[in-house]
Amino acid sequence: MMSDEERRAADENDAPLHYSPRTGEPPPSKGSILSPARLTQLVIELIFLMLGTLVMWLGASGHIYFDRRSIGWLAISIGVMLWGLLALAKPGQWWMKWQKWNRGGSLVVLGLLMVAISRVPFLWVGKLLTVCGVVLILRGILGSVLILKPR
């Protein structure tokens, strides 16, 4: 059995140094708060998730009100593809390898699907838009998991 003095000494050694003056609780552990950079990345991935849901809904419902054969659509398609290739080629930290592949790979696939949308029969456009939405949703989910994963 421990004496009262031994118990107090053990409690003092385990106690955190600073308590919150307002609540009297110990500070949160270091891993429980996201840094501003990681929080911003998480918000961006959630935006991709919502954008994917919108694009998937537009493709599934047939609300297709854009000229898929215009030069602007082709320029955006190629731009998205090049942006993805640039993201894959950019050097980064070793622990962010999967995030880089997720971001760059999804943009390359999205660009290829957008180029395909401009060349397929109109009946396939809704299905390909739905696939584009699924790609964006998967990117958002996988990106969020990779951001929240402890390093």
**Tokens in use for 43?**
């918000």
CB 25 within 8 A of CB 107: no
In this structure, what DSSP letter does residue 31 have? G
- The contacts of residue 74 (CB under 8 Å, 6+ apart) are 115, 118
Each residue's pLDDT tens digit in the chain (151 positions)? 556 666 565 555 554 455 555 655 555 555 567 788 889 999 999 999 999 999 999 999 988 888 888 999 999 999 999 999 999 988 777 767 888 899 999 999 999 999 999 999 989 999 999 999 999 999 999 999 998 887 6
- The contacts of residue 38 (CB under 8 Å, 6+ apart) are 147
What does 78-110 look like in DSSP terms, one character per residue? HHHHHHHHHHHHS---GGGHHHHHHHHHHHHHH
Supply the pLDDT for residue 20. 55
Record the pTM: 0.74
Element housing 65 (H / E): none
